[in-house]
Structure 1
Amino acid sequence: MQEKAARRSNQARTEATRAALLEAARALFVEKTFSETGTPEIVERAGVTRGALYHHFADKQALFRAVVEVEAEAVARAIDAATPEDLSASDALFHGGEAFMAAMAQPGRTRLLLLDGPAVLGRRAMDEIDARHGGRTLREGLAIAMRQGAIRRVPLDALAALLSAVFDRAALEIAEGASTADQRTAIQALLAGLKR
């Protein structure tokens, strides 16, 4: 019984250390950027040792990738929550787009996912991460909309890639002070053009 409790305690400590590192790293990467953040700052803010950092992550880039994964997962969860299965395909596209824009408004997220992510990890790695998260939700929504006849049939992968770029650009524009309403209106007009 004690062994089980010790294992749980060790697991809880491990999870808490990892969470503290991710939280500290995210805050510093947003405040200072990846390149301007040092690992000593991260461990100090997290309240752990350098050994703990390297126990969980091979290096600062691996830690950054984990932060990016957490951010991308949060975006996908927001989209999934906004698009229950009982929505029509066209409503799901609309609500999914709205959820993406709201999720990307989280301070620092646009920088992490759309600016520093590609610069630090490379475009291919970011595409792989997106394909598991936000990009997955968009591709699935478009596939369902095509199957249900809500939008015209066009090459799915090309459409998903182009619309993903549109959503990303809108998030970047909003982060730089552009009108959220204008970006949403433009995106809705583009989506309306896909309807049958």
Structure 2
Amino acid sequence: MAERDERHLVGAFPSIPKQIRAQQKRLALLESGRSLFIEKGYEQTTAKDIASYAGVATGTFYRYFSDKRQLLLALLEDKMEKLMPPVPNWMHRNPEQLLASLLENYNNSLEAIGIHRVLPELLPKDPELSEVMLEARKSLHRRIYNGLKSAKDEGLTWGDLDLDTVAWTIILMVENSPEKAKQSGSTLEYDEMAKVICRLVFPPQIMEKLYISKSEDKR
């Protein structure tokens, strides 16, 4: 199946503001919707609530968005890339350190956006959006797979690795790391997570070389 552009879900907006003041109102509605979806949940939030929170009339909401779903999809469209786990660079001279930094930045960004908390409520009821998210994850999988393939071609990974399985395993580990921390009552240890993932990818002799490189970098 060809990759789909998630913008088809948004549809045509009632109005695209050109004046700065109108753009500011639209941005205020987007931020209002984001805050309320996170605080109250998608189903419990109405267009009237969003407009009131943004300090505008309900009619102003419908000037820019056909309904709250369109507003949410506009938010997701803008943040889709940031909602997906990072793609590691396995060819980096210190992939473990780089991956730990990527994971920390990703989770900090995810928490700052917050909109991912709405998805578990919405996806089971919205097949179209579910398919778009699935396509985004498949695209992410291909990018991670291709990186692993390049590393394997260079003789850096385990020779018998099933790269397809490893790529999905990495995605699932990263996606579920916040829930793991929540259930265990501990903070996310990005260095430890990166270490586990790199042990999954690299055999001991390669990791030994990487640790040597890391030690040399600190001198």
Matched, 1:172 2:179: yes
Larger Rg: 2
Give the whole-Å Cα distance in 2 for the aligned partners of 1:147 and 1:176.
Answer: 36
2:95 maps to 1:90: yes
Amino acid at match of 2:121: D
Q: Is the 8 A contact 1:43 1:50 kept in 2?
A: yes
Give the aligned residue type for 1:166: M
Compute the TM-score of the two structures, normalised by the length of structure 2: 0.62
Please state how far the C-alpha of 1:167 moved relative to its aligned partner: 1.2
Match of 1:188 in 2: 195
Q: Which runs of 5+ in 2 are unaligned?
A: 1-16, 204-219
- Backbone CA RMSD of aligned residues: 3.6
Q: Answer yes or no: is the 8 Å Cα contact 1:104–1:110 preserved in 2.
A: yes
Rounded to whole Å, the distance in 1 between the matches of 2:78 and 2:122 is: 12
Considering Cα pairs closer than 8 Å and 6+ residues apart, tell me whether 1 or 2 has the greater RCO.
2
Equivalent residue letter for 2:132: A
Paired amino acid for 2:24: A
Match of 1:15 in 2: 23
Q: Is the 8 A contact 1:72 1:130 kept in 2?
A: no
- Is 2:123 the counterpart of 1:118? yes
More helix by share: 1
Pick closer, same or farther for the CA change 1:107–1:179 going to 2, 3 Å: farther
1:108 aligns with 2:114: yes
TM-score of the aligned structures, taking structure 1 as reference length: 0.68
* CA contact 1:105–1:171 (8 Å) conserved in 2: no
* One-letter code aligned to 1:148: A
Q: Which segments of 5 or more consecutive residues in structure 1 lack a partner in the other structure?
A: 1-8
Q: Is the 8 A contact 1:151 1:195 kept in 2?
A: yes
Q: 1:125-161 deviations in whole A, cap 9, x for unaligned? A: 3223556xxx63x6434522430334345344x4433
* Correspondences of 1:49-88 after superposition (within 5 Å): 49-75=57-83, 79=86, 87-88=92-93
Amino acid at match of 2:40: K
